[in-house]
Structure 1
Amino acid sequence: MAVHAHPDDESSKGAATTAKYVADGFSVRVVSCTGGERGDILNEALKSDPHILRDLSQVRRDEMRAAQEVLGCEHTWLGFVDSGLPEGDPLPPLPEGCFALEDLDVTTEALVRVIREYRPHVMTTYDEKGGYPHPDHIMCHIVSMAAFEAAGDPEAYPAAGAPWQPLKIYYNGGFSKDRLTAMHEAMLDEGLESPYADWLANWKPRRVPGRTTRIDCGAYFETRDRALLAHATQVDPEGFWFRVPLEIQQRVWGFEEFEPAVSYVAVADDETDLFAGLGSVADADTLATSGGLTMVYDGRVDAASDDPSEDAVEDAVDDAIDDAAELSEHAVNDTTADADPATDADADGEPNPSSAQKERV
């Protein structure tokens, strides 16, 4: 289960991994916490389209449906309202009733209900800074971590279904300096202009994940790109994000990265499969329903950052928005800015679930 803030996030973060697991027969569900109602129209060719201007909310739902068909995954709207990205000095308050200001019990219970209905073995979401300085991304992280913990607790949200404990939750990997450097050098070697030069010249040190899981999914980069382009209002097909040829992306960095956050099974240093360590589907199902599991791995930087309190949300949002200036020169829109400028182009053996039932992410 991949939990995202807005429609199009699922196509710019981990989309090739989604497509790979779907193609391998796994069940994958994307959860969109909001409808993206307050997003901008970023495709110049569509900015004056009267239909889009009249009903952006429905247009974005239609775009999500198209992207879902490309990826082949299931999809659920969590049902909350886009908070928008505050801009200005001083920053304006967030709009009343938006996702980032919703009662945390309400948002957490909503996601717990989806988890208990779908019963995923693995979840993915954003890191403690949301991967991108947007209030909805920060809230998505906090709600995802709270719901991951609560879903297996029979005392938590008893009206939301029978307890089910997902066994692992990962953060989506963003761009790293190694990744940008490799792509930059490959572009120059081909005699092409690299879109990464300024980015690398102005690079600021970032937290390095304790462990990284790499999913070999270069064969699905074209699917990823088609899914992103399905969000026509949110991406310029001739723009910055598509300047690196697909062949270079596949050859130089043909995988997507995830950071293990919390796991109830052992996590290897060199994972190449989100389902590593789970064993058979029957074994995983037994663990997920057994109760009283002991956490085996905690890769969170600061467990306090996952405290679902209003103060924690406000502090995290303020910190993340303060970081926005660094990204603003490069960001094309408010929901794909943490993707690689070439789009987010980006096992211990291949997973081998039973033929009757595949594991769920």
Structure 2
Amino acid sequence: MTRSRTTSAARRLMLVHAHPDDETLITGGTIAAACDAGIEVLVVTCTLGEEGEIIGDELAGLAAQHADQLGGYRYWELQRALSALEAPESRGRVRGVFLGGAGRWRDSGMAGTDGSRNPRAFINAPLVDTASALAALIQDFQPHVVTTYDPNGTYGHPDHIRVHEVTHRAVELAAASARGWDVPRLYWSVIGHQAFQENAARLSGVPADWVREPGGGLGLFPDEQITTRIDVRDQRDRKAAALQCHATQIMVDLPNRAFALSNWVAQPIMDEEHFVLVRTTGHPVPDGQAAHGLFAGPGPT
């Protein structure tokens, strides 16, 4: 459980993610920008990422099918990444917690794998249990903005899809409880297809063994449905540094502002991050152009 919020007037942002590294890959620039804007940020991670594919041979023995120690290592990677996203003058504005405590639910892996059949897998936990745990965090932190994934979970990972379901249910539970908090704004964090393709097509000079396949990256969401675009150019160096902290999962080519996952597909570190506003309430949101628009502007009810 996170500690109590510092002041009732502070603007608060909660981002819900499936595994360590998702927070940086999809919303790292936004987290950094929110810190710069004086916003309190709480990153909720639902699993330790135990089933992740490990890049390189040095740490390969940590994998689930060997020592099964990857989760603890990725816990450490996440702490370093969150620190990298903060500017020196904004230390303490970003906090990270694991849903239910570190290791409460396990990375499910991809559909049909041994990980997905593990009784402790996140996708096998009753929705009421995971959503209630997140609702309790929402009630405690009282975020003005919550972000989760789109219904396809960015790229179809079962844990991402489950995070979408859990977050939507938790927002409902938090609003309905006796000490409820009706989240003013709920967003999906997405990666626009066209914007991603344009950035990927401009990549040049990446390592020769990386695959140039613009269609093989994370950008799958229809651009016309995006409601909010966050300019993160000023935070891009911190995002790149945070990506480097997730070395078991991500390779970073700093000169060319690119990264690759275990599939070795070259992907751009983009100038903007994308969101879709899917729910608003009558609860007031603190004024200010904080986090480049997540806290302001019209939207659906």
Regarding TM over 0.5, the answer is yes
Aligned-partner Cα distance in 2 for 1:114–1:130: 21
Give the 5 Å matches for 1:91-170. 94-154=117-177, 158=178, 162-170=179-187
Letter in 1 for 2:294: L
Aligned-partner Cα distance in 1 for 2:192–2:122: 26
Question: Which position in structure 2 is the counterpart of 1:7?
Answer: 20
Aligned-partner Cα distance in 2 for 1:202–1:141: 20
Aligned-partner Cα distance in 1 for 2:249–2:97: 20
Question: What RMSD in Å do the two structures reach over aligned CA positions?
Answer: 3.4
Q: Which moved more, 1:209-218 or 1:131-140?
A: 209-218
Summarize deviations over 1:18-46 as a string: whole Å, max 9, x none. Answer: 00111221101100011112222124443
Aligned-partner Cα distance in 1 for 2:176–2:224: 28
Question: Which position in structure 2 is the counterpart of 1:351?
Answer: none
- The count of residues paired between Structure 1 and Structure 2 equals 258
Give the 5 Å matches for 1:77-88. 77-79=98-100, 80-86=105-111
Question: Which position in structure 2 is the counterpart of 1:212?
Answer: 227
TM-score, normalisation: structure 1 = 0.63
Indicate if the aligned counterparts of 2:50 and 2:68 stay in contact, CA closer than 8 A: no
Indicate if the aligned counterparts of 1:177 and 1:200 stay in contact, CA closer than 8 A: no
Give the 5 Å matches for 1:299-318. none
Aligned-partner Cα distance in 2 for 1:212–1:102: 32
Q: Assess, with a 3 A threshold, how the Cα gap between structure 1 residues 197 and 68 changes in structure 2: closer, same or farther.
A: closer
Aligned-partner Cα distance in 2 for 1:203–1:225: 16
Letter in 1 for 2:117: L
Q: Assess, with a 3 A threshold, how the Cα gap between structure 1 residues 202 and 37 changes in structure 2: closer, same or farther.
A: closer
Q: Assess, with a 3 A threshold, how the Cα gap between structure 1 residues 132 and 244 changes in structure 2: closer, same or farther.
A: same
Q: Assess, with a 3 A threshold, how the Cα gap between structure 1 residues 202 and 63 changes in structure 2: closer, same or farther.
A: closer
**Residue of structure 1 aligned with 2:271, choices 254, 259, 267:** 254
Letter in 2 for 1:164: W
Letter in 2 for 1:75: G
TM-score, normalisation: structure 2 = 0.74
Indicate if the aligned counterparts of 1:43 and 1:236 stay in contact, CA closer than 8 A: no
Aligned with 1:74: secondary structure?
Answer: strand
Q: Assess, with a 3 A threshold, how the Cα gap between structure 1 residues 93 and 125 changes in structure 2: closer, same or farther.
A: closer
**Residue of structure 1 aligned with 2:72, choices 54, 58, 61:** 58
Indicate if the aligned counterparts of 1:38 and 1:84 stay in contact, CA closer than 8 A: yes
Structure with higher Rg: it is 1
Higher relative contact order (CA 8 A, sep 6+): 1
Aligned-partner Cα distance in 2 for 1:147–1:59: 28
Give the 5 Å matches for 1:325-344. none
Instruction: Give the Å deviation of 1:199.
Output: 2.9
Aligned-partner Cα distance in 1 for 2:62–2:109: 21
Question: Which position in structure 1 is the counterpart of 2:294?
Answer: 274
Indicate if the aligned counterparts of 1:181 and 1:200 stay in contact, CA closer than 8 A: no
Aligned-partner Cα distance in 2 for 1:237–1:54: 25
Aligned-partner Cα distance in 1 for 2:247–2:55: 9
Indicate if the aligned counterparts of 1:16 and 1:220 stay in contact, CA closer than 8 A: yes
Instruction: Give the Å deviation of 1:97.
Output: 2.3
Indicate if the aligned counterparts of 2:192 and 2:223 stay in contact, CA closer than 8 A: no
Aligned-partner Cα distance in 1 for 2:71–2:137: 22
Indicate if the aligned counterparts of 1:16 and 1:221 stay in contact, CA closer than 8 A: yes
Q: Assess, with a 3 A threshold, how the Cα gap between structure 1 residues 172 and 196 changes in structure 2: closer, same or farther.
A: farther
Q: Assess, with a 3 A threshold, how the Cα gap between structure 1 residues 43 and 16 changes in structure 2: closer, same or farther.
A: farther
Percent sequence identity over matched residues?
Answer: 29
Q: Assess, with a 3 A threshold, how the Cα gap between structure 1 residues 258 and 205 changes in structure 2: closer, same or farther.
A: closer
**Residue of structure 2 aligned with 1:233, choices 248, 270, 275:** 248
Q: Assess, with a 3 A threshold, how the Cα gap between structure 1 residues 200 and 106 changes in structure 2: closer, same or farther.
A: closer
Q: Which moved more, 1:52-61 or 1:31-40?
A: 52-61
Letter in 1 for 2:183: P
Q: Assess, with a 3 A threshold, how the Cα gap between structure 1 residues 257 and 206 changes in structure 2: closer, same or farther.
A: closer
Q: Assess, with a 3 A threshold, how the Cα gap between structure 1 residues 191 and 234 changes in structure 2: closer, same or farther.
A: closer
Q: Assess, with a 3 A threshold, how the Cα gap between structure 1 residues 168 and 92 changes in structure 2: closer, same or farther.
A: closer
Structure 2: which 5+ runs fail to align? Answer: 1-13, 87-93, 259-267, 285-290
Aligned-partner Cα distance in 2 for 1:236–1:191: 11
Letter in 1 for 2:256: V
